[in-house]
Amino acid sequence: HLLKDQNKTSFLLSWIVIEKYLDSVWSEYLSSQNTTKRRFDKLTKSMLWTADDKLEALNLLGQISNERYSQIARLKTLRNKVVHKERSVVLKEAEECNKLVIKIIKEIIRKKSFIE
């Protein structure tokens, strides 16, 4: 989509990956704390825990760096304007979101496969 000048579509698809990333980091953190199944389900399956809530908590818990927190928070604000106010997305914004997703995916692959 990015290569076809479909900036909005590219941005929103990349944003979906970022939300899944936040879900994954959130679930991993809760698991590392030996959270009971009942609490785990409550904290992962509830509609009350938004991507914004998870981002805030993960940053405060030291699971997401301040730099990444700031970038995701900025992109989240843009995402909200795009979805709720029908704002357009310029190429630079779509590229930034896409680059962050590629970086996240590479980190996950390295972590899961121990490739350096």
Tell me the pLDDT tens digit for each residue of 55-94. Answer: 999 999 999 999 999 999 999 999 999 999 999 999 999 9
As a whole number, mean pLDDT of residues 18-46 equals 94
CA 63, chain centre distance (Å): 13
Amino acid at 97: C
1-18 per-position pLDDT tens digit: 888 889 999 999 999 999
Share of the chain above pLDDT 90, in %: 84
Give residues with Cβ within 8 angstroms of 67, minimum separation 6.
none
CA 114, chain centre distance (Å): 22
Q: What would the two tokens of residue 92 be? A: 């630079």
pLDDT band at 48 (very low <50, low <70, confident <90, very high): confident
Amino acid at 93: E
The H-assigned helical ranges of the chain are 7-32, 37-45, 51-60, 66-85, 91-113
pTM attached to this predicted model: 0.90
